[in-house]
Structure 1
Amino acid sequence: MLTEAYFKNFKLLRDVRLPLGRLNVLVGPNAVGKSTVLEGMHYLLLLASAKPGSATLRPGSLFLGRRAVEDLVAKPDATELELEAVLADGRRFGLRAGAAKEEPEPEWLHLWFGKEGQQTELSLPCDDQEEERLFFRGPREAKLGSVVRLKLHAETLAAEHYSEEEIPGVGHDGEGLASVLQYLQGLRDGTLDAIERDLATIVPGARRIRALPARVRRREKQRISIGGQDFWADQSREVTGARFEVEWEGLGWVPAGQLSEGTLLALGLITVVRFDAPRLVLLDDLDKALHPVAQRRLVAHLRGVLEATPQLQIVATSHSPFLLDELRMDEVLVMSRGREGGSALRRLDEHPASQKRGGYLRPGELWSLVGEG
């Protein structure tokens, strides 16, 4: 379990500590760094599952671009950034990154893991794969890399899909949901039944889910050799993939493309949490496209999943006071712009008014009353 995340000079997060429980929801106006919190945690924790010698451990690959660290460091005066995650036993996994002045290594990373005074360290780039292997053994054993960041899109969730993987997965945007449902339908281990029950709880009227074969057109690159030279041409072919439908009370089977956005988003989230669940789920816009009643049901469902899955944590963003009303004060993390242009973050239960009015105001009502100031 993570108890805290720390961000220094990462975009708007100049000096921000994020206390973490099982369920954590970030609120605040636009452009204060809510999604940046998820981005920073994702960048850091993905490193824990990197293989020694892989391209992921090259600095330019981690931050997606040769000069990407320069784009992520707080403007205008910072030259390096720092990210850190703290485990319940006190071990810390962190990185410091900067942009060097000369080529060919425009970026550098310095990593650490362990308790204060007992930390192992690694500087990247590193040419010693054994040194990398020994360093990452600790973060990997702590399962810090068991993380997924979701920004689900209804159209992607509903799309027909073809997977060549033995065990398919749902992508960060929802790609592959049809293939996962088809896999679970064949597996018959009870997971699809649980997903159906969860969906019916959040979206009344939904009943069963079924996956069906679908002809999916794929575009591929084909190599053509002419006179000793290789050329690449686009080729299109049809393969058998999967689509899905949801049975509705009084309506019968409804194709995925005709389902509401809220239904698709709820189904996508439920499937990710139920199927091969990661230890940490980072979710943008938890309330997206959901009716206030459905938002409350979603929170109730997530609590049930958290209770049944002790190792799971959720960090999400929201703009909905209706959703916040179903949380505890200490589960709401309020963000705003600080005095010096960066972001500030405090738990809602730290506000003086939460002590005076928490007895008769719910979190969403209190947040609506006091704002971010």
Structure 2
Amino acid sequence: MIESLHLRNFKSFADATLTVGGLTVVVGVNASGKSNLRDAFRFLHGIGRGYTLPEIIGGKYGEGGYREWAPLRGTTSEIIRFGQSSFTIKVVVGTEGRGRFSYEIAVSHQDVRGRFRVEAESLQTEDSPWKQPVFQTLGPGDDDEDVAVRLRAADGARGHGKRISLRRDRPVLTQLEARRGVSLELRNMIEQVVATLGAIRFLDLSADAMRQPSFPGQAILGESGENLATVLQALCLDSERKHALVAWVSELTPLEVADFDFETDATGRVILFLEDTGGGRISAFSASDGTLRFLAMAAALLSDQGRSLFFFEEIDNGLHPSRMRVLIDLIERRVARSTVQVVTTTHSPDLLTIVGEQTFESTSVVYRPADADGSVIRRIVSLPHVAELRKTQTLGRLHSSGWFEDALDFDDPAEAAE
């Protein structure tokens, strides 16, 4: 699981840390930098997928020219904060059986040909008795295209491990995962972190995509909601998860949903139907956008059995405020009982009003002070008097009134950290 994300000179962030919980909510006015957090998570996800730096930032194209990975938003000159020569992303990861790790990568754009290259990179055990990093870069390698890397001695032995030279256009983390000669102990640590980054998922749901019939056997929900029918069909094979899904949908919609039905069209593709208690049926073609969005989010969360982090932008889009509680209840219960995590941005005061105590602890505001040259991130729980005000005013009222931004204008972050 990802515990925190630290950004330095990445896009609009000069030096900021996001605390990540089970459900992490991020609020802020337009253009404050919330979408830049999505790009930071996408950068980490690109590392987990084994891409090079040019592919992570500029897009990955497979054989035949099809696009496998979309580029990060903005031009190459906008990835690094204006006036700086490099950016740094650091993430703290908790793994099963291997403890906690901090992974940090610094990327520069000083190459004469305008290429992005690894400036520095390291993986450190956070709770190990040995303070020696799993690996860290030392500087230039055998030539200008390489970087020198020092590996930790195996089994916690004293002294330095071996020194090797690796490419600068690809993250060291994934190069070591595939490199021969790396000890099994170190490889297992690296693989755990790579798997966590590779399990990040982004859902930008489209009603048109969710309405389309699905090809039989497709069990992974696409980023826009493709394959919704067959993902739900597979989910309904598990009676417990099907029961939970039916109960949530019944609360969300005016329909008394009793079951899901699946039929094939003339091309053999699967069409989704919702059945009510009276025997009536509504196809995905007729279902509302909000119902489809809810179904897709529920399907993603309930069908995922691994250790994933889902990133949603504006998770409340298309949902009636009175039904928001159903969605938040679904997510909070899911993350409490599993290693699944959810990060979402929102402008909805209603969402903030209904979040539970654990979510309140991991809710943050992104803000661009008038007298500063970068975005800042503050946990809402650290703002002055917010716990008391929450009881009388609700977070939603504080958010809609602009109180968060006012509090940040007059509060000293250094004092709040003491």
The alignment's TM-score, normalised by the length of structure 1, stands at 0.81
Identify the match of residue 89 of structure 2 among 83, 87, 100: 83
What's the counterpart of residue 123 of structure 2? 113
What's the counterpart of residue 347 of structure 1? 379
2:365 is equivalent to residue 334 of structure 1: yes
Aligned equivalents of 1:153, 1:15: Cα separation in 2: 34
In the TM superposition, residue 202 of structure 1 has moved relative to its aligned partner by 3.0
In the TM superposition, residue 74 of structure 1 has moved relative to its aligned partner by 3.5
Between 1:191-200 and 1:120-129, the stretch displaced more is 120-129
Listed one character per residue, the Cα deviations across residues 185-231 of structure 1 (whole Å, up to 9, x for unaligned) are 5x45644343223322333523322221124xxxxxxxxxxxxxxxx
Aligned equivalents of 1:38, 1:266: Cα separation in 2: 21
In the TM superposition, residue 267 of structure 1 has moved relative to its aligned partner by 0.4
Listed one character per residue, the Cα deviations across residues 106-159 of structure 1 (whole Å, up to 9, x for unaligned) are 221354222364231465336999744247642432441222111111221111
Given that residues 49 and 140 in structure 1 are in contact (C-alpha distance below 8 angstroms), is that contact kept between their aligned partners in structure 2? no
What's the counterpart of residue 283 of structure 2? 255
Aligned equivalents of 1:325, 1:81: Cα separation in 2: 35
Residue type of the alignment partner of 2:91: A
Residue type of the alignment partner of 1:162: F
Aligned equivalents of 1:136, 1:340: Cα separation in 2: 42
Given that residues 93 and 113 in structure 1 are in contact (C-alpha distance below 8 angstroms), is that contact kept between their aligned partners in structure 2? yes
Identify the match of residue 272 of structure 1 among 266, 289, 300: 300
What's the counterpart of residue 169 of structure 2? 125
Give the share of equivalent positions with the same residue, in percent.
21
Aligned equivalents of 1:200, 1:34: Cα separation in 2: 32
What's the counterpart of residue 74 of structure 1? 80
2:55 is equivalent to residue 61 of structure 1: yes
| CA RMSD, 1 decimal | 2.8
Q: How many aligned residue pairs are there?
A: 339
Q: Secondary structure of the equivalent of 2:311?
A: strand
In the TM superposition, residue 256 of structure 1 has moved relative to its aligned partner by 0.5
Q: Pick closer, same or farther for the CA change 1:333–1:126 going to 2, 3 Å.
A: closer
Q: Secondary structure of the equivalent of 2:246?
A: helix
Aligned equivalents of 1:321, 1:371: Cα separation in 2: 12
What's the counterpart of residue 213 of structure 2? 160
Aligned equivalents of 1:132, 1:306: Cα separation in 2: 29
Structure 1 runs not aligned, ≥5 long: 51-55, 216-238
Aligned equivalents of 2:262, 2:47: Cα separation in 1: 35
Given that residues 290 and 317 in structure 2 are in contact (C-alpha distance below 8 angstroms), is that contact kept between their aligned partners in structure 1? yes
Listed one character per residue, the Cα deviations across residues 13-55 of structure 1 (whole Å, up to 9, x for unaligned) are 22111112211100111111112212211321342343xxxxx
Identify the match of residue 397 of structure 2 among 365, 368, 372: 365
Q: Secondary structure of the equivalent of 2:219?
A: coil
Q: Pick closer, same or farther for the CA change 1:351–1:290 going to 2, 3 Å.
A: same
Q: Secondary structure of the equivalent of 2:205?
A: coil
The alignment's TM-score, normalised by the length of structure 2, stands at 0.73
In the TM superposition, residue 268 of structure 1 has moved relative to its aligned partner by 0.3
Given that residues 181 and 210 in structure 1 are in contact (C-alpha distance below 8 angstroms), is that contact kept between their aligned partners in structure 2? no
Q: Pick closer, same or farther for the CA change 1:127–1:198 going to 2, 3 Å.
A: closer
Given that residues 283 and 315 in structure 1 are in contact (C-alpha distance below 8 angstroms), is that contact kept between their aligned partners in structure 2? yes
Residue type of the alignment partner of 2:365: V
Aligned equivalents of 1:19, 1:265: Cα separation in 2: 27
2:340 is equivalent to residue 312 of structure 1: yes
Given that residues 48 and 140 in structure 1 are in contact (C-alpha distance below 8 angstroms), is that contact kept between their aligned partners in structure 2? no
Q: Pick closer, same or farther for the CA change 1:274–1:355 going to 2, 3 Å.
A: closer
